[in-house]
Structure 1
Amino acid sequence: MRTRGGVLVANIIAGLALGFTVANIGFGDYAELNRMFTFQDLRMLLAFAGAVGIIVMFFALLRVRRNLGRIHAGVVPGAVLFGTGWAISGGCPAIPIIQVASGYLPALVTIAGVIVGIRLCRWANTRYFHLDTGSCGQ
């Protein structure tokens, strides 16, 4: 039986390993991300595609099945906002943490933007959209 402490330690170790790897191969570098989004350098894009391919194989081996019914109403606008924010700021929600840890302090603005965005999403969802509770990073 797993203990909460053991799972926490495993998550911390995995997070540190991921952060070290991402920072070490340059995926936390804004210029590198910009080259990916402008298709000047396909290295990162191919790395992401490779990661998706690997997880698809693991899901197939583990026989993970998803119900691919109707798409959630927030997927398309959320994807557009996420991609736009990533292209402008140079980081998805995890990358700015790595950038700050690497000494790139302007990424603090991105982290603040993520926090404000989550709060705005929760407010808009409560007031206007009434989607399920998991749609705003909860």
Structure 2
Amino acid sequence: MRTRGGVLIANIIAGLALGYTVANIGFGDYAELNRMFTFQDLRMFLAFGGAVVIIVVVFAMLRVRGTPGRIHAGVIPGAVLFGTGWAISGGCPAIPIVQVASGYLPALVTIAGVVVGIRACRWANAKYFHLDGGSCGR
């Protein structure tokens, strides 16, 4: 039987392992990410590709099936904003945490931007767009 404490410990261990791996691959290094986004170094893209291959194999082994429904109206603008923010700041929402843990304190500005962006998105959606957030918007 799984306990809350056991699940919490497993999540902490998995999070630390992921953070360690991400930091050692170079995803926490702004310069590495900049070289990836400016196509100067394809190593990071190959890491992404390797991750996609691994998850496809795991999904096939687990026989994960499912077809996505309609594309949510916020997916395309959200993806554009997410990618733009990642390219400018050098980090998606989790990477600045790795950067701060590695001693790169300017990443605190990125974390603040993520918090402000989430709040601004919720405000704009409630006031203007009224898009169904599904399981992610709550």
Alpha-carbon offset, residue 47 of structure 1: 0.4
Equivalence for 1:22: 22
Question: What is the rounded CA distance, in whole Å, between the counterparts of 1:78 and 1:119 in structure 2?
Answer: 14
Render the CA deviation track for 1:70-126: whole Å, top value 9, x for unaligned.
111111000000000000000000100000001100000000000000001111111
Does 1:68 find its partner at 2:50?
no
Q: 1:137 to 1:98 in 2, by over 3 A?
A: farther
Residues 4-43 of structure 1 mapped to structure 2, 5 A cutoff: 4-43=4-43
Alpha-carbon offset, residue 67 of structure 1: 2.4
Alpha-carbon offset, residue 134 of structure 1: 4.2
| Residue identity matched to 2:38 | T
| Residue identity matched to 1:98 | V
Alpha-carbon offset, residue 5 of structure 1: 1.0
Alpha-carbon offset, residue 66 of structure 1: 2.4
* TM-score (normalizing by structure 1): 0.94
Question: What is the rounded CA distance, in whole Å, between the counterparts of 2:132 and 2:46 in structure 1?
Answer: 34
Percentage identity across aligned positions? 86
Name the SS of the counterpart of 1:121 in structure 2.
helix
Alpha-carbon offset, residue 62 of structure 1: 1.1
Equivalence for 1:90: 90
Alpha-carbon offset, residue 133 of structure 1: 3.1
Alpha-carbon offset, residue 61 of structure 1: 1.4
RMSD, aligned CA: 1.4
Name the SS of the counterpart of 2:83 in structure 1.
helix
Equivalence for 2:112: 112
Question: What is the rounded CA distance, in whole Å, between the counterparts of 1:107 and 1:134 in structure 2?
Answer: 30
Structure 2 residue runs without a partner (length 5+): none
Question: What is the rounded CA distance, in whole Å, between the counterparts of 1:26 and 1:125 in structure 2?
Answer: 35
Structure 1 residue runs without a partner (length 5+): none
Alpha-carbon offset, residue 69 of structure 1: 2.7
Equivalence for 1:130: 130
Answer whether contact 1:122 1:136 (CA < 8 A) is retained.
no
